[in-house]
Each structure stands twice: as C-alpha cells, then as structure tokens.
Amino acid sequence: MSTLVTGAAGYLGSYVIDTLLSQDRQVVGLDNLAWGNKEHIDRLADDERFSFANVDVTDTAAVTSVVQEQGVTDIFHLAALHFIPAAVADPSLAVRINVLGTQSMLDAAKSGGVERMAFASTGDVYSPSDDAHHEDLEPAPFNIYGLTKLQGEQLIRNAQRSTDTKFLVARFFNLYGARETNPHIVPEIVDQLKAGSGVLRLGNLEPRRDMVPVHEAGRALVEALGAASEPITTVNIGTGTAHRMGDLVDTLVELAGTGATVETDPDKVRASERMHLQADVSKLRELIGWAPSPDLAAGITALLQAEGMA
C-alpha cells in the first residue's frame, strides 16, 4: 500500500512528500527530471519509505505499471508545465504534459483501482476579477496554462462517471518558499540578491497575488484529500489575502537587510497579465479546519533562513 506523487522532483511535490513521510506513509515519487530538481529526490535516498520512478507522466503504460506494481492507493498528481511564460511560449508542450499527462494518470488510476486522487489545478482557471474567487464561479481561463488545467478538471469529471475513485481538484494560488524550480518573482529576487546586486531588475510590481507558503500548501493538500468525501471535491488552496507585488519586494528587501533598490526591466514585463488573483478560502477552512497563513513577513523570514540569508 503506497502513495504516488507525480512531479516528485518539483517544487510543491517535495513538500507533499515531506508531509506524507511525516505521517510515516510509503511514498513513490514519479518524475522524468526534465524540469524538477534531482536534489529533491537524492535527499531521500536513505529513507526506506521512499522509492523513485524515473517515468514521464505521458507514458501511460509505464505509469500504469508503477501504480499496479507498487500497490498505489492514493495519487497526488502534481506533474505539469507550471511556468506560465513557458506554457505561453510552447502551448503544444503545455497541452501534452498538462492534459495528456493527466489522462494517463486517470487511466492508470482506473486500472490500478486507486481509491483517491488529488489533481493540482490553479487559480488561473478563474476569469480576472478584483474580488476573491470562489469555487462555484464559472471557470474562464486567462491563459493557456489555466486552460490546460481546466481541461484536466474536465477529464476528471469524465473519468469519475466510470470509477469509484474519489477526486480532489485543488486550485492553487501563488506558492512561495524555498526549493522553487521555476523563475517566479520570489526566487528571481533571491537570486539577484545572492549575486550581490544592489539594483533589482524586475517586471510589473502592481499586480496583487494571494501568496501561499509552499510548505503549508503541501500540508493542506494532503489533509484535503484525506477529508474529501464527495466523488469530486473542488477547493481553493490559498490564504484569502492578496498582496501587491511591490509590497512583497519591499518586505523581502527589508528582511534581507540589503538596501537594494528596484528598476523595471521591460524584458521581464509580461505582455498580458491579470492584475488581481485572490482565493476565497471558506470552503478550505470548512473542509480541513484551517487555511495557509497570509503573514508575508513570517513566510519571507522562513524563506531567507532556508536560503542562508537570515
């Protein structure tokens, strides 16, 4: 009896695995190591509760073999092309990984008689709005990444008609913390500060985002799958608070104590970007009794400590 985590070498995947191991569960990590960090796998080499399969999620036969041979009862499907600029630059790749990869996992789950499956979706399935997004809102993706995740949700609805597997659709908002594997704004700032830059060259700092500590997001996902009792449960994983990106930068620079200043880099300004993305977390609180903390200073302090900068 084991739990499978796809995208095991990725950002969120590493924290989901940590949470599962803290519960003394047998975990199988699955990743093709194309975008993840192999160190996230290597650090677990001496843990007998963890095993690793170097498999691409779009390889249905290989994924199905892992599920059946390892006696998988629960799946956390996190593998995806997550970085929005990369998805926009190569929509075909985003569809192959995010859509076809999800169908592969659904096929494997059905063949293996998996009991529960969590799917990492995104707040980007919602249309742009200045209000907090509730799960009952009609999806209207803003970009190709959100569209592929919505298609994944639709595939789950289709699969549920012919299986007893219970599904959790977790719509994640903006994660931050140590171990990031994509060049989002927080790791971009950290990298520039580590390089000794006194001037941070960044993109648009006016958008507001619901910033979620990644270790709390991993814990919330594990608890939510355990608590979900409906055939399909859809829930936002966020803090319920949106922060202006400029304020995030100011907080990070202040806590790092570098005195760095900020300049706009036109090459880092996205051609199209929503200005506000915030979760309504009332359903998450009802499901598991809590939601990740919106305390940006505490989260940034933990990040800087992990990076050896505080």
What is the average per-residue pLDDT within 37-54? 97
Query: Cα 282 to the chain's mean position, in Å?
Result: 20
pLDDT band per the 50, 70, 90 thresholds, residue 108: very high
The closest of 109, 113, 90, 111 to 101, measured between CA atoms, is: 109
Q: Do domains 2-175+211-237 and 183-210+242-277+296-306 have the same CATH topology?
A: no
Q: Which residues 6+ apart lie within 8 Å of 230 measured at CB?
A: 166
**Looking at per-residue confidence, does 263 or 50 come out higher?**
50
- Contact between 206 and 244 under an 8 Å Cβ cutoff? The reply is yes
- Going by their DSSP bridges, the two strands 276-277 and 211-213 should be labelled as unpaired
Whether the Cβ atoms of residue 28 and residue 51 lie closer than 8 Å to each other: yes
Architecture of domain 183-210+242-277+296-306: Alpha-Beta Complex (3.90)
Question: Residue 46, Cα to own-chain centre: how many angstroms?
Answer: 26
Domain assignments of the chain as residue spans, ordered by start: 2-175+211-237, 183-210+242-277+296-306
Examine the pLDDT at 270 and tell me if it is beyond 80.
no
Tokens 């209207």 belong to which residue? 140
Indicate whether 192 pLDDT > 80. Answer: yes
Looking at residue 265, what is its pLDDT?
Answer: 81
Query: Is the dihedral angle over the CA atoms 285, 286, 287, 289 positive or is it negative?
Result: positive
H/E element, 223: helix 214-227
pLDDT tens-place string over residues 230-246: 999 999 999 999 999 99
Q: What angle do CA 102, 106, 111 make, to 5 degrees?
A: 145
Q: What is the pLDDT of residues 121-162, one digit of tens each?
A: 999 999 999 999 999 999 999 899 999 999 999 999 999 999
Radius of gyration of the chain (CA): 19
The CATH architecture to which 2-175+211-237 belongs is: 3-Layer(aba) Sandwich (3.40)
Whether the pLDDT of residue 167 is over 90: the answer is yes
Average pLDDT over residues 253-282: 87
Is residue 2 within 8 Å of residue 8, measured between CB atoms? no
